[in-house]
Structure 1
């Protein structure tokens, strides 16, 4: 079914990614961002990655639309502790002030993986999103995500990843409740057959008194082919099927295509997106169009030499004749 359970689903708010670990930063704020090589240890160089990264190349091309106005101020107190202040004004998404913080431990299990990372943000009503990552070693990683809404735990998720030389196994528990006999359990496995071909499977068990029989099980199989400039990935199972295609056309342009059919929701989603980068101009644009005839574009421009970034978003639904505009300003990029 290709279920993505990498974050709590009760709130569309996505926690900001943590800053790079000490010694792995993006350089001075007065210099253009540079592409950095990803460190991979010798014993994990053939590892296929985690299941949630199966379609990453394609999905990261699609823009994350926003509406209204937002301002974010980032501040690094030291190499391991970072804070942010954000104000959002929108008629669709939750508005108001949020305070965020990121802690990265000084201990490292590899040049890119700190031993411990904690990310959280909270609003004046004490609604909290938190995520913790513990890298026990290069092979074993634990992740915990929780969300508190209206003084109650709205969502809880615990994930464990084990990365072997040519395989990755992942186990996840979502919203377990032994008193109500509810919860979701997911087991995922990826195996690298060759450096270019990866296959895997996912099985999900959901328990709830509201489900006929008290439980339901879904199984899906997946695969990925990685070429020199393209990536094909897909899944098929009892919950539906999907296919993603990614290709880099040149140094500036990347394109992605996604089609996904859900048997549970009885709908098919199709999206075509691209990313256009001009590193010398500190400019980036992501855009997409889907089968609902919604066209979305997000532009980002770094205003160097100042540590500022301007973001503009536009979304137009041709069927409903709806147009939404968003403007964002970030200090401390």
Structure 2
């Protein structure tokens, strides 16, 4: 029997668990140095609040202005319906930077000018757009993304006097700050210091995400007309709730107004929306001679159908107005749009037909394969 050698006095190695990991070290925010008891308490409270806020996984809720964009801009015919005949010729010269011009001709419409020229230039941080009509009306827009969170949006409109109105000019200056879970906006319309003080209309809004689904905010409007008249102010409160396939929003005006919207995606190609607008006039007592408080309301129901090469929208409201719009792509460069509207109360009807042609050369097609298109701050 062979003897087994035994070594005395040698320490056996201690097993080490290589699978264990240490907690990650946050190098982006090192622990603050302790300097003052009061300041340290404030900083600890602030950091604890930020940690709890980040743990909720909140996302940016958008702006108060676009709180019902899914209904107002996607489903409804807002700013899309027209009457008469219209033809558009669009020419794109480059996709980065984005540069294109458009010629539009219309007939049989009291709202559209016979001829409109539009030019657009944009990069990832700048958008410049100008429009000139044959009746000498001019509008321009300039947007600049100074920072991934800060965007400036400026616009100007000049309308000459005509039989439809006296004309005028309007300047709008807007600044949007986009945070991780909130958006703050400040907008001023026709600000001026030429009448002995600050005049114009000023709008400030703030929308904050409370949970991954719920967002609440408020909007304040201050109007200071000229001529020694006193300022007027109004405050509205807004809320938005986002479900799995539906979104509900509401806005409450302190002077007597309520607007609620509901959007739902029925299928991959079908969307529907409902908007209710209630106005309570006479609640402030300013028009007591008119017979006291009155209630006025409008309800609108709309639907949107997306087909392979066409989009159909239809809506009807409680005031007896029904409308529809069909946008169909005949071929990749040709698009035809049909719009119709009937008002049963006024016993009137409008029809519109538009043809849009997109002209792009072979060099532009080659750019699309090699260069990513620009995404201006619209």
| Distance in 1 (alpha carbons) for counterparts of 2:58 and 2:336 | 37
Which SS does the other structure have where 2:65 is aligned? helix
Alignment of 1:1-333 (within 5 A): 46-60=59-73, 61-63=75-77, 64-79=80-95, 80-105=98-123, 114-150=124-160, 154-180=169-195, 181=197, 182-209=199-226, 214-239=230-255, 240-263=257-280, 267-279=296-308, 282-304=309-331, 306-332=332-358
| 8 A contact 2:113–2:135 mirrored in 1 | no
User: Cα offset for 1:261?
Assistant: 2.1
Q: C-alpha distance in 1, partners of 2:310/2:299?
A: 27
Q: Which moved more, 1:232-241 or 1:186-195?
A: 232-241
Give the alignment's Cα RMSD to 1 decimal. Answer: 2.1
> 1:45 Cα shift?
7.3
Shift of 1:78: 1.6
Offset at residue 177 of structure 1 (A): 2.3
Match of 1:11 in 2: none
Q: What is the CA–CA distance in structure 2 between the aligned matches of 1:252 and 1:99, rounded to whole Å?
A: 34
TM-score, normalised with respect to structure 2: 0.70
Preserved contact between residue 146 and residue 153 of structure 1 (Cα < 8 Å): no
Q: Which runs of 5+ in 1 are unaligned?
A: 1-43, 106-113
C-alpha spacing 1:92/1:252, structure 2 compared with 1 (3 Å): same
Deviation for aligned residue 1:95? 2.6
CA displacement at 1:262 relative to structure 2: 3.2
Q: Distance in 1 between matches of 2:105 and 2:280?
A: 39
Give the corresponding residue for 2:48. Answer: none
Cα deviation 1:272-306 (Å, max 9, x = unaligned): 10101112xx01101101121110000011012x4
Looking at structure 2, the residues matched to 101 and 262 of structure 1 have their Cα atoms a distance apart, in angstroms, of 39
Structure 2 distance, partners of 1:173, 1:264, is 26
* Structure in which a larger fraction of residues adopt helix: 2
2: CA distance between counterparts of 1:125 and 1:314?
A: 26
Segments of 5+ residues of structure 2 without an aligned counterpart are 1-56, 162-166, 283-294, 360-378
On the 8 A contact 2:58/2:212 being kept in 1, the answer is: no
Distance (Å, rounded) in 2 between the aligned partners of 1:90 and 1:156: 30
